[in-house]
Amino acid sequence: MSRSHAEFLLSAFDRKHWPKADGIAEVAFVGRSNVGKSSCLNTLVGKGGLARVSKTPGRTQAINFFDVQRRGAQLRFADLPGYGFAKVPKSVKATWDRMVGDYLKNRQDLALVVVLVDMRHDATQLDSRMIQWLEDADRTGLLVLTKSDKVSKSRRLDRQSRLCRGLGVDRGASLMFSAPNRTGLAELWARIDEATGLVGGAD
């Protein structure tokens, strides 16, 4: 598949720790905890231990940045902290809002925000709010519907339509994904390539 490789760069709790804006196109990933974000990232770049890094205590609430090599070009991935933890103190939610809001609004070189939603379930208010934030910030978003292998073939398109409708997302701005089956992997890379300017070139 795609010749890509990723390396952990740094964890940031505050904008002053973000990597310097240097013109390298960045793709951010966000979603509820347990949605399959780590699995998706690992599938994209191969078993790179990306997930392990994001799970390191103290880093789960940070934005984790990764350098990614893709067909000889350089990209950056930003793994945003998951939302929707059941019993999180208000102060943690406020910090999350401030940190992620600041990032989405102000990050230069942010080319695409991938929002992951488990396609077995309806989207939550927090998912809706994330989509709204992207619109407000004028960001390009892509809805990745995870765990498609858990939904029967006959129901998948219905689930996709329903989730897109519920979130007010064009169907064309969504794709289905399965980490174990690698469903949607080529399409996801194609969207990333398109958004980051790496269009074209054989896989």
List residues binding ligand GDP (CB under 6 A): 31, 33-39, 82, 146-147, 149-150, 178-180
> Between 146 and 183, whose beta carbon lies closer to Mg ion?
146
> Between 31 and 141, whose beta carbon lies closer to Mg ion?
31
> Between 58 and 200, whose beta carbon lies closer to ligand GDP?
58
Q: Does 38 bind Mg ion (CB under 5 A)?
A: yes
Q: Would you mind telling me the total number of residues written for the chain in this entry?
A: 203
> Between 63 and 198, whose beta carbon lies closer to ligand GDP?
63
Distance from C-alpha of 197 to C-alpha of 199, rounded to nearest angstrom: 5
Least Å distance, CB 17 to Mg ion, is: 20
Render 146-193 in DSSP notation, one character per residue: E-GGGS-HHHHHHHHHHHHHHHT--GGGEEE-BTTTTBTHHHHHHHHH
Residue of 27, 10, 7 lying closest to 19 (CA atoms): 10
Number of residues that bind Mg ion (CB under 5 A): 2
Least Å distance, CB 21 to ligand GDP, is: 27
Q: What is the CA radius of gyration of the chain?
A: 16
Select from ligand GDP, Mg ion, none the partner in contact with residue 35, using the beta carbon and a kind-dependent cut-off of 5 to 8 Å.
Answer: ligand GDP
Answer for the pair 155, 169: CB distance below 8 angstroms, yes or no.
no
The C-alpha angle 189, 5, 44, rounded to 5 degrees, equals 35
Q: Which stretch binds Mg ion (CB under 5 A): 1-9, 37-45, 84-92, 162-170?
A: 37-45
> Between 82 and 141, whose beta carbon lies closer to ligand GDP?
82
Binding site for Mg ion (CB under 5 A): 37-38
